[in-house]
Amino acid sequence: MNVPLRKCLIPEFILGDGAINLASRYVNFFNPKKVLVVTDKGLRETKLVSKIEKQFTENKVPYCIFDHVSPNPRDHEVMEGAQMYRKENCNVILAIGGGSAMDAAKGIGIVSTNFNAIERFEGVDKIADPMPPLVCIPTTAGTSADISQFAIILNSSEKTKMAIISKTVVPDTSLIDAETTLTMNAELTAATGIDAMVHAFEAYASSASSAITDMNALEAIRLIKKYLPLTLKSPDNLKYRNKMMLASLLAGIAFSNASLGLVHAMAHALGGLKDAAHGICNAILLDHVVDFNYDAVPNKYIEIAKAMDLNLIHTSTERGKALLVETIQEFKYACGIREGLNQIGIHDADIPHLAKKAFNDACIVTNPRDAEIADIQNIFRNAR
Ligand SMILES: [Fe+2]
């Protein structure tokens, strides 16, 4: 049997109750002169950031806080954070928040050691010098920026999302504590949970998948199919939140190493133009992209279906595709996601521009079926 060469990079992570209480211990491994804490304004008001401040104060860890981070973090926010990092003479970064805070922290790290504007690093392997040490504390179960080789930053003048993909943006340590996700409302829980589901789908169907990424992706799909609806019904149930954190981690290990596909390429184009929530963009597109990709890798989708409790053995390819698409739609509805592109403000006139952007996104490279611009336009039209 031929085994294709595949690299795999997974950083140190500490998973479990109380992981957030290890923040000062883990930043201390890097001899901090001063820690730049990157978060957003909403989270700064919560007890999560004050928990970090208390630990740092008690353990005499010098720190300053940068909280100018928007959902879909902007290029100018990254540059502002890097300015603060330099001015305050920091040498370690701690990010606490969802994908936005962690991606912004990665951007700040890249700019701080490479002395150039963030847009210069868009694409694959464009970063020469490693970032400063970065410790992450994720507060959503979905993005996996805390372990991934990806950082997504909004280019605000061009209204596009830049995918920065490099092993240098993998954080040093992630402290994964499900209690931090209790602050999420239902909408954010659903959007981030679906994002994790799409990571697993795309990693499993990716042309760069491997045995390691496959097993993580399928287990993530099983867990999310079961526990995302349960979490939405019982948002204070820590057992369900823990299962979603685990699922997000597994999906992150899968996609960070197998990369993604057309859903993310198209979602990045949408998020850039309309500043729409990433998970919602993914949810809108997933069933339509599966419909497009299915015939290229039917056996992979049969396994994905199995992980979603749908048996497609002895079913024709056409029928199997229809059943899987239907199952995805039902799952989205069960999670309260019913939007189409029209509801997030996309008009027909936007589609040619969006399709061109998606066609040039780095995530399209590993999609299991080649997509031309006309194909992408059709998928966008179907998703209205
Ligand atoms: Fe994503």
Strand order in the sheet with 150-155: 123-124, 160-165, 150-155
How many angstroms separate the alpha carbon of residue 100 from the centre of ligand 1?
11
How many angstroms separate the alpha carbon of residue 28 from the centre of ligand 1?
31
How many angstroms separate the alpha carbon of residue 131 from the centre of ligand 1?
22
Residue 171: predicted pLDDT: 97
Average pLDDT over every residue of 270-297: 94
How many angstroms separate the alpha carbon of residue 105 from the centre of ligand 1?
17
How many angstroms separate the alpha carbon of residue 289 from the centre of ligand 1?
15
How many angstroms separate the alpha carbon of residue 295 from the centre of ligand 1?
24
How many angstroms separate the alpha carbon of residue 59 from the centre of ligand 1?
35
Closest alpha carbon to 10 in 164, 176, 163, 239: 176
pLDDT band for 7, please (50, 70, 90 cuts).
confident
Whether the predicted pLDDT of 281 surpasses 80: yes
pLDDT band for 3, please (50, 70, 90 cuts).
confident
Distance, CA of 382 to chain centre: 24
Strand order in the sheet with 12-15: 12-15, 173-176, 134-138, 92-97, 35-38, 63-66
Residue 274: predicted pLDDT: 86
Q: pLDDT digit string (tens) for 154-185?
A: 999 998 999 999 999 999 999 999 999 998 99
Residue 308, SS3?
A: coil
How many angstroms separate the alpha carbon of residue 311 from the centre of ligand 1?
27
Ion ligand 1 — residues with CB under 5 Å?
195
How many angstroms separate the alpha carbon of residue 87 from the centre of ligand 1?
32
Average pLDDT over every residue of 60-76: 96
How many angstroms separate the alpha carbon of residue 194 from the centre of ligand 1?
9
Domain ranges of the chain: 12-181, 186-382
Q: Which CATH architecture has domain 186-382?
A: Up-down Bundle (1.20)
Residue 181: predicted pLDDT: 97
Residue 256: predicted pLDDT: 94
How many angstroms separate the alpha carbon of residue 55 from the centre of ligand 1?
31
Share of the chain above pLDDT 70, in %: 100
How many angstroms separate the alpha carbon of residue 196 from the centre of ligand 1?
7
How many angstroms separate the alpha carbon of residue 299 from the centre of ligand 1?
24
CA–CA dist 271, 45 (Å, integer): 26
How many angstroms separate the alpha carbon of residue 163 from the centre of ligand 1?
11
Residue 355: predicted pLDDT: 97
How many angstroms separate the alpha carbon of residue 147 from the centre of ligand 1?
13
Residue 275: predicted pLDDT: 82
Q: Is the Cβ–Cβ distance between 205 and 198 less than 8 Å?
A: no
How many angstroms separate the alpha carbon of residue 60 from the centre of ligand 1?
36
For 12-181, CATH gives 3.40.50.1970
How many angstroms separate the alpha carbon of residue 294 from the centre of ligand 1?
20
How many angstroms separate the alpha carbon of residue 314 from the centre of ligand 1?
33
What interhelical angle do 186-205 and 238-258 show, nearest 10?
A: 40
